[in-house]
Amino acid sequence: MSYQVLARKWRPRKFAEMVGQEHVLRALINALDNDRLHHAYLFTGTRGVGKTTVARIFAKSLNCESGVSAEPCGTCSACVEIDEGRFVDLIEVDAASRTRVEDTRELLDNVQYAPTRGRYKVYLVDEVHMLSAHSFNALLKTLEEPPPHVKFLLATTDPQKLPATVLSRCLQFNLKRLPMPLISDYLETLLQAESVTAETSALRLLARAADGSMRDALSLLDQAIAFGDGGVTEADVRSMLGTIERGHVTAILRALADADASAILAVVEQLAQQAPDYEGLLAELLTDLQQIAIAQVAPDALDADLEAGDTLRELAQRMDPEDVQLYYQVGLVGRRDLPLSPEPRGGLEMILLRMLAFRPVTSGQAETPARPNPARAVTASAVKPGPAGSATAREAVAEAPVAAMSLSEDADWSALVECMQLKGMSRELAMNCAVQARGDDQWTLTLGSEHQQLLSKQRQQQLQSRLSECLGKTIKLDIALQGRSANTPAQQRRQAAEQRQASAVEAITSDPNVKAFQKTFDATLHNETIRPRDS
């Protein structure tokens, strides 16, 4: 006897054998048991989730010789012939190959005649969205008022392409993508029945590659059994799918946690020798980052059976939540742009290095090597010796990140605002203040009355604390309201922006090419659309 592929051998013969889709099965079972049958059903969902299978079982339930019920006997001639695809009153149509209106009219010519063998004449139209507009028009009248002995079962992967007039005449059921654990558990049960040995981690890889499709999972399992000569191992499945060894993904995550660019490049160098699927590597990396983020905010929600779960929990403790979110977003955008890179390896390296380049520096972290920032420059005299008599700039940043950027008391207020590293409304308050008086331990700032809503006791205390840290001594800070503050950092910024804008407008309007263009074509230049290059 010839070999039968697993997807056909294990196709469910009754509703009880279906995996998942309980929301659809419940409605169909209740309709069959309570004799509340509609004349047209539409099953939607991605490939391989059971649309056609559900339709065939439903047809069997309608025509079983033991009566209409949700549990067909499976042994009568009608059930057997439907399972074997030769039941005369189940007319299966592939709409992708019969799109012409003539085909539809030919199909509907026999609707009026009673069924030959069964209780109902069932029309199962697969990929119904492929029908032409004229074919839908020909179908509409019959679909709205079919004879009592006719049932229409329509299936599609793209319901958006169906006319609203067709949708309104059908009961619609959306079959969901099957979750990975459900597919993995089913594959394990199937292999036990087939007496095939398999590693659980290998089945998880197959379930993930199936992307919610049970049919794809069974096809991949068939391929894995052949590839592994009768067994299914993780190493064989990774080789077959072209996926990256788990250890390389973990090594990249550890290097990201350590902000170690050299280690990242070393891992990529090892990977390059295996001609890997770089997009697949990014997909695995993003999946792990998502699980790490879950472990950080809701540890109990992490799948107990998750591959490398202990490692991900450890990384969740070592990585800042802000970093994880940043890495995920950079990786997501990078995966989209990876095909545009000159060569895949370089594209991957740039994506990983970009994660570190944009990584925010927080308390307890050392900055990664980067271009010096004048607003955050540190002088040797700004680092105070520790108990041993000396300290490095790196040590000062781990222990006291703000104090490491201390400035002198006569420093410009704008520089002091940058030194304080304020955020949100506290930064807005500082940006709209100006220094009125500086004493040895008493400072007075002024705030324009138009910004008085920024002033609060909590924000004033935060400014006082951060200013004291920047100056290296305790400062008492007062903020006084006045008609309008003069020469605030915010005003300086606005003035600089206005100057840049004016310079940009001048550069464009005085450009000889622009003038020639205006003269030749009688063109109008809209100055409000001009922007400086640095914006």
Question: Where does residue 203 rank: exposed (0-12), middle (13-18), buried (19+ CB within 10 A)?
Answer: buried
**Length of the chain in terms of residues written:** 535
- Condensed to tens digits (0 to 9), the pLDDT of residues 463-496 reads 999 999 988 889 999 999 888 767 898 888 888 8
Which is nearest to 476 in space by CA: 444, 498, 432? 444
User: Angle CA(169)–CA(174)–CA(179) in degrees, nearest 5?
Assistant: 175
How confident is the model over 133-167, as pLDDT tens digits?
888 888 888 888 888 899 999 999 999 999 998 99
Give residue 305's pLDDT: 56
- Chain centroid, CA 454 distance in Å: 37
**Residue listed under structure tokens 């591959």:** 307
**Which residue ranges of the chain lie beneath pLDDT 70?**
1-2, 243-244, 303-307, 360-397, 399-409, 485, 534-535
Instruction: Please give the single-letter amino acid code of residue 528.
Output: E
CB neighbours (10 Å) of residue 86? 9
DSSP assignment letter at 381: G
Provide the residue ranges of all domains of the chain, joining segments of one domain with +: 6-174, 180-241, 246-357, 400-487, 490-529
* Ramachandran area for residue 256 (φ above 0: left; ψ -120 to 50: alpha; else beta): alpha
d(CA 524, CA 80): 79
Q: Which residue has the tokens 């940009």?
A: 504
What Rg, from alpha-carbon coordinates, does the chain have? 35
Is residue 12 a contact partner of residue 57, using CB atoms and an 8 Å limit? yes
Q: Where are the alpha helices (H) located in 174-245, listed in sequence order?
A: 180-194, 200-210, 214-227, 234-241
Look up the CATH architecture of domain 400-487.
2-Layer Sandwich (3.30)
The DSSP result for 484-513, as a single string, is ---S-HHHHHHHHHHHHHHHHHHHHHT-HH
Q: Which CATH number fits domain 246-357: 3.40.50.740, 1.20.272.10, 3.40.50.300, 1.10.287.70?
A: 1.20.272.10
pLDDT digits (tens, 9 = 90+) for 295-351: 888 877 776 556 677 788 888 888 888 889 999 999 999 999 999 999 999 999 999
Distance CA 366, CA 250 (A): 22
As a whole number of angstroms, the distance between CA 335 and CA 355 comes to: 13
Q: Determine contact, residues 61/69, Cβ cutoff 8 Å.
A: yes
| 376-385: long-range pairs with CB below 8 Å, 24+ | 376/405, 376/418, 376/419, 377/405, 378/404, 378/405, 382/406, 382/407, 384/472
Token reading at 114: 């009673």
- The CATH architecture assigned to 180-241 reads Orthogonal Bundle (1.10)
Q: What is the pTM (predicted TM-score) of this model?
A: 0.58
- Give the 3-state DSSP-derived string for 149-182, with helices as H, strands as E and coil as C: CEEEEEEECCHHHCCHHHHCCCEEEECCCCCHHH
What fold, for 6-174? Rossmann fold (3.40.50)
Strands (E), 364-455: 433-438, 442-448
User: What phi, psi does 125 have (nearest 5°)?
Assistant: -105, 110
- Give the Cα separation of 479 and 449 in Å (integer): 11
Q: CA dihedral in degrees (427, 433, 437, 442; nearest 10)?
A: -30
Give the pair of three-digit tokens for residue 130. 């492929």
